[in-house]
């Protein structure tokens, strides 16, 4: 196995513990934004999709790469907007006035 893969494996190991520790004590109140927020963060897949389409040469590769970019872009924008909308409702500074209406 190439050295890069081993490096990536070490990194993944640390990232796994980081993810576990960072999330460990999230209150039930924030379970939805947490899930939606992590949904947004795996939208980083868009970066991979750009690279995949960027180095695609045959029409078939390009077509699949385009699908990847479209889906990745949907993941990242949709994930962000949904999370933002949910968190806006928990925002106290805005809530003080007149409720949700």
Considering only residues 81 to 100 of the shown chain, the ones binding another protein according to CB under 8 A are 81-92, 95, 98-100
Closest approach of another protein to the CB of residue 6, in Å: 10
Contact by Cβ (8 Å): 3, 57: no
Residues 2-41 that bind another protein (CB under 8 A): 2, 4-5, 7-9, 11-12, 15-20, 22-41
**DSSP code for 98:** T
* Residue 40-79 contact track with another protein, rule CB under 8 A, x = bound: xxxxxxxxxxxxxxxxx-x-xxx-xxxxxxxxxxxxxxxx
**47-54: which pairs have CB atoms within 8 A and are 24 or more residues apart?**
47/72, 48/72, 49/73
């Amino acid at each position: 196995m190439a050295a890069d893969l081993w490096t990536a494996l070490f990194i993944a190991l640390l990232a796994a513990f980081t993810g576990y520790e960072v999330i460990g004590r999230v209150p039930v109140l924030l379970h939805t934004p947490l899930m939606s927020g992590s949904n947004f963060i795996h939208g980083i897949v868009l970066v991979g999709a750009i690279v995949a389409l960027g180095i695609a040469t045959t029409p078939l590769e390009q077509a699949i790469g385009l699908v990847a970019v479209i889906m990745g872009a949907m993941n990242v924008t949709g994930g962000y907007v949904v999370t933002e909308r949910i968190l806006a409702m928990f925002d106290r500074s805005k809530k003080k006035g007149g409720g949700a209406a």
